[in-house]
Amino acid sequence: MTITDCRDLAVSNADNALVAALENAHEMFLTYSGDPLGEITEVLDAEPDFVMGQIFKASLLTQAMETRIYPELVSTLKTAEALAPRANERERRHIEAIRAWADGDFHGAVDLWDALLVQFPRDLLALQLAHLSDVLLGDTDNQRDRVARILHAWDESVPGYGYMLGLYAFGLEENRDFDIAEECGRRAVAMNPKDAYAIHAVGHVMESQGRQSGGINWMRSREQDWAYSNFANHLWWHLSLYHLDLAQNDQVLDIYDRCLRSTDSSGDRYEELDAAALLWRLELLGVDVGDRWKTLADKWEPSATDTLYAFNDVHAMMTFVADGRWEVAEQVLNAHERYTTAANDANAAMTRTVGQPFCKALKAFAEEKYGEAVDILLPIRYRTRYLGGSHAQRDIIGMTLLEAALRGGRNDLALALASERTALKPTSPMNWRFAARAHRGRGDHTRATEAEAQAIALHG
């Protein structure tokens, strides 16, 4: 008898109880709730030969992007590879994709998951892994189109349809298809109120459109659905961005202190990324953040030379230069030199293209060498997607460039950059404040006053 999961996909060497346990763990992964890794590990302790269980565990570990997790990923993958003769074709393809990922061939892994999805378009795990990898790699087109390619096989009768819509909503938003993105995201949340990823997708739409009050209302109205999820840190960060745009800095610092500032030494990089990204934005805007950098830099320092993921490296560098840890900052740059000289994997390319230059620019900025920071960042500003993350996350590069131009007296450039921002998001008070400073720097006090008035009017 062939055992299948809830989407009619065959599962090797399993019984219905094992499949149910796997689906329960996957539901946790989809909703960012509970402990899916612990859940599947408990299943595998009792049934170590469960092929799809080992695949699922290894799949979870691919998303950590941390050196400390890598040995467990490799160990789990080797167990899955040893079980490959018992696996079916779909499962073997999963194993091949995870092997490519573990070897640093992130693009190859995504290609293998994509080929799997052509044949098995209802494999929600493959879709989720490929989509999250697209985000890690900054592949904005496929964040949308990879989901679109499997839509023909889905409807509301297929379990997990709402989660698929949530992934699609985010991909649509990253491609500025805002209306359809919001429709899909809200529909996903209506189907699964605790779908934190879909809630986040709608939040992205509102941030991208400069709908600050609407974004605050959306996040607060859904707070009970996401505030206790494993994605809460990132969603608190999103909420803080709306307040930051409105110059409600007390609220931003309150969110940081209550929800992002942690003395936990577990080393969860996803949490520390959000904390560093928020503090650096405050730093750029001239807000005194007190001693908050020290605690965060203490958490990043043990992994300063990991060079596993460029996106992590730049956020680590923010903490080191902001806290004046110049020796550690040099260690990061030296590690980049060694790594990019010796390696040729996907992350090495990300580091060369964006990670390493941005780290150098961050150091120059903190040393008040603003012209140097501008000269480093200006040539890479249209390649920043290769750092990974979202448009909202990568906007920190544009903000750093603009602020460096302002502080360095490059006011014509600053005005051009501010003009670009106000055209893209004209309802952003922060963008108009940037424009006002650029006008004033050029000596055009009339235009500066007009831009300041626009910013005040948008506070509503």
- More confident call, 342 vs 118: 118
| pLDDT surpassing 80 at residue 263 | no
**In terms of Cα–Cα distance, which of 104, 59, 50 is closest to 77?**
59
Report the alpha-carbon distance of residue 261 to residue 63 in Å, rounded. 23
Q: What is the pLDDT of residue 387?
A: 95
Q: What is the pLDDT of residue 269?
A: 58
pLDDT tens digits, 400-428: 999 999 999 999 999 999 999 999 999 99
**In terms of Cα–Cα distance, which of 173, 174, 131, 179 is closest to 29?**
131
Report the alpha-carbon distance of residue 257 to residue 17 in Å, rounded. 43
Look at residue 119 and tell me if it is in a domain: yes
Q: Which of 137, 157, 182 is the last residue of a domain?
A: 137
**In terms of Cα–Cα distance, which of 235, 198, 176, 210 is closest to 391?**
176
DSSP 8-state secondary structure symbol assigned to residue 155 = -
Report the alpha-carbon distance of residue 455 to residue 440 in Å, rounded. 15
Which long-range contacts (C-beta less than 8 Å, at least 24 apart) are formed by 87-91? Answer: 87/12, 87/51, 88/10, 88/11, 88/12, 90/9, 90/10, 90/116, 90/119, 90/120, 90/123, 91/11, 91/12, 91/51, 91/52, 91/55
Radius of gyration of the chain (CA): 23
| pLDDT surpassing 60 at residue 318 | yes
Residue 4 backbone phi and psi in degrees, to 5: -125, 160
Report the alpha-carbon distance of residue 405 to residue 335 in Å, rounded. 28
The alpha carbon of residue 216 and the mean position of all alpha carbons in its chain are separated, in whole angstroms, by 20
Contacts of 78 (CB under 8 A, 6+ apart): none
Phi-psi region of 329 (alpha: psi -120 to 50; beta: other; left: phi over 0): alpha
- Domain, as residue range, for 24: 1-137
Q: With contact defined as beta carbons under 8 Å apart, do 415 and 431 qualify?
A: no
Residue 244 — pLDDT band, cuts 50, 70, 90? very high
CB-neighbour burial class of residue 234 (10 A; exposed 0-12, middle 13-18, buried 19+): buried
pLDDT cut 90: percent of the chain above it? 93
| pLDDT surpassing 60 at residue 265 | no
pLDDT tens digits, 67-108: 888 899 999 999 999 999 999 999 999 999 999 999 999 999
Q: What is the pLDDT of residue 328?
A: 97
CB-neighbour burial class of residue 250 (10 A; exposed 0-12, middle 13-18, buried 19+): exposed
Report the alpha-carbon distance of residue 268 to residue 299 in Å, rounded. 9
Q: What is the pLDDT of residue 271?
A: 72
CATH number (domain holding residue 118): 1.25.40
Q: With contact defined as beta carbons under 8 Å apart, do 251 and 264 qualify?
A: no
Look at residue 25 and tell me if it is in a domain: yes
pLDDT cut 70: percent of the chain above it? 98
Report the alpha-carbon distance of residue 272 to residue 285 in Å, rounded. 20
Q: Which of 89, 110, 137 is the last residue of a domain?
A: 137
Q: Which of 137, 164, 180 is the last residue of a domain?
A: 137
Report the alpha-carbon distance of residue 376 to residue 382 in Å, rounded. 13
Q: What is the pLDDT of residue 327?
A: 97
Q: What is the pLDDT of residue 123?
A: 98
For helices 106-119 and 124-137, what crossing angle results, to 10°? Answer: 150
Task: Give mean pLDDT, residues 197-204.
Answer: 98
Q: With contact defined as beta carbons under 8 Å apart, do 33 and 47 qualify?
A: no
Indicate the pTM of the whole model.
0.95
pLDDT tens digits, 384-397: 999 999 999 999 99
**Mean pLDDT, rounded, of the chain:** 95
Look at residue 278 and tell me if it is in a domain: no
Q: Which residues pair with 10 in a beta bridge?
A: 4
Q: Which residues of 387-410 are buried (b: 16+ CB within 10 A; e: fewer)?
A: bbbbbbbbbbbbbbbbbbbbbbeb
| pLDDT surpassing 70 at residue 298 | yes
Contacts of 61 (CB under 8 A, 6+ apart): 37, 69, 72, 73, 76
Q: Which of 69-73, 163-167, 318-322, 397-401 is predicted with the least confidence, judged by mean pLDDT? A: 69-73
pLDDT tens digits, 111-160: 999 999 999 999 999 999 999 999 999 999 999 999 999 999 999 999 99
Look at residue 46 and tell me if it is in a domain: yes
Look at residue 108 and tell me if it is in a domain: yes
**In terms of Cα–Cα distance, which of 143, 109, 99 is closest to 389?**
143
Q: What is the pLDDT of residue 68?
A: 84
Look at residue 145 and tell me if it is in a domain: no
Helix (H) or strand (E) holding 175: none
Report the alpha-carbon distance of residue 452 to residue 316 in Å, rounded. 34
What is the full DSSP assignment across 372-390?
HHHHHHGGGTTSGGGG-S-
Look at residue 22 and tell me if it is in a domain: yes
Domain count, the chain: 2
pLDDT tens digits, 212-238: 999 999 999 999 999 999 999 999 999
Residue 303 — pLDDT band, cuts 50, 70, 90? confident
Q: With contact defined as beta carbons under 8 Å apart, do 22 and 57 qualify?
A: no
Amino acid identity, residue 112?
A: L
Q: With contact defined as beta carbons under 8 Å apart, do 305 and 335 qualify?
A: yes
Residue 306 — pLDDT band, cuts 50, 70, 90? confident
Diameter of the chain by CA atoms? Answer: 80
Look at residue 49 and tell me if it is in a domain: yes
Q: What is the pLDDT of residue 1?
A: 62
| pLDDT surpassing 60 at residue 375 | yes
| pLDDT surpassing 60 at residue 268 | no
Amino acid identity, residue 254?
A: D
